[in-house]
Amino acid sequence: MLERLMVGIIGATGVVGQNYIKLLRNHPWFQVTDVAASSRSAGKTYKEAVRNKWQISTNIPENIKNLIVRDVYDIDSLDPQIKFVFSAISLPNKEVVKELEFNYARKGIPVISNNSAHRWTPDVPMIIPEINPDHINVIPIQQQNRGFSKGFVAVKPNCSIQSFMAPIYSLQKAGYKVNKLIVSTLQAVSGAGYPGVASLDMIDNIVPFIEGEEEKSEFEPLKILGSIGDKGIINNDSIKISATCTRVPVLDGHTACVNIKFQDKRPSKDEIIDIWRSFRAIPQELSLPYAPEQPIIYLDNENRPQPKKDRDNDKGMAVTVGRLRKDQVFDYKFVALSHNTIRGAAGGAILNAELLLKKGFI
C-alpha cells in the first residue's frame, strides 16, 4: 500500500491498548492517529494519560506521545478520515461495551474488537483467520439486521483457546474429526491485565481458577467451528470440550495441555506432525503482514514448548506444539503454547483487520 490507513484505538490507555500501539508502530498498512479512553484521560496528551501505567518495554512512539486522548463516548469528534477502530475498551459492564461498539458501527465505523462482549452475539463474527475466515461473510447479515451502512463489529476469541484451536482445526481439515477434548491451561499473569493478580497471590503459587475462562475455553471453539445461517453463526456442537484454567507465575505465554479423542479414524503420530508442519491458510496465502509464515511449529524436544523460549516464535503469532504422544484414556495428548498478549490479543486483532481490508470489508 502506498499510503497507510488512519486508524483509531478505543481503550488506548489500558494494557491491550498499549500493546496495539507497540505492534502498530511500524505497520505497513495502518497508522494510529486517534486514541480514545475514559473521561478521566480525555483531554490529556497520551503520554500524560499513561504516565504511571505504561507497561510496555519500549518507549511510547514519538508520533503517539502528544496525541490528545479523545473521550471514547464522543464519537462525533472522531476524525472522518479514520477508516476503522481497534477496540481495547475494558469495562465491567459488558452491555455498556456492546452498545458502545455498536454505536461506532452505527456511525459507519468498523470496529475490530478485542473485547469479549460481542463474542456470543450471533451476527458478530469471532475470527481466527487461519480457521474461519469465511465468517466475515456474516457482516452483511449484521449490517442488514441492525441498519448499519459501512460499520460493523468483528471480534477475536479469548486468549485461552489460541494455543490449541489451530492444531485441532488442522486435524479436522485433514479429515480426522475430533470428538472430545480435555484441556488444562496454564495462563500467564499478563492475561489478567494491570494491575492484575496481586503478587502475594502469584509468587510461589498457582491459582486454580480464572473467572469465566473455562466457559470461554469450552464454548467459543463451537462458534469458531460453526457455519453461517440466515441470522448469524450456527454453533458446531459435534465436539465436547472439558477445560480447567489456571493462573501461573509466568509473565507472557499461555500453555495448554490437551487430550484428544477422534470420532472414528485415528491418524498416526507421524501423520499428525506432518499435518501440523504443513498447515497453511488464507493469511499465509495472502501474505498478510502479521501472519506467521508457519502457523503451527512442532518441536521434537521432549521438554518443549516453554513460554520463556517459545512464546515469541514468528513475531509471537505462531502456535508452538510439542510432546505429542499416545494417551491411555483418549487417543493422543500434546502441549501447545501461544503468546497471549500478541496472538491472543492485539496481534490477533491486527491480523483480523488485515484480512478484512484485503477482503474488501474495510
**Closest C-alpha to 156, from 24, 356, 348:** 348
CA distance 141 to 7: 24
Q: What single letter denotes the amino acid at residue 123?
A: D
CA distance 310 to 265: 32
Q: What single letter denotes the amino acid at residue 152?
A: F
* Active-site residue set: 159, 254
**Residue burial 198-210, b: 16+ Cβ < 10 Å; e: rest:** eeeebeeeebeeb
Q: How many residues does the chain have?
A: 362
320 backbone dihedrals φ, ψ, rounded to 5°: -110, 130
8 A C-beta contact, residue 212 and residue 222: no
DSSP code per residue over 144-182: HHHT-SS--EEE---GGGHHHHHHHHHHHHTT--EEEEE
SS (H, E, C) 55-100: CCCCCCCHHHHCCECEECCCHHHCCCCCCEEEECCCCCCHHHHHHH
- Can you list the alpha helix ranges (DSSP code H) found in 91-135? 94-106
Cell of 228: 453461517
**Residue burial 10-28, b: 16+ Cβ < 10 Å; e: rest:** bbbbbbbbbbbbbbbeebe
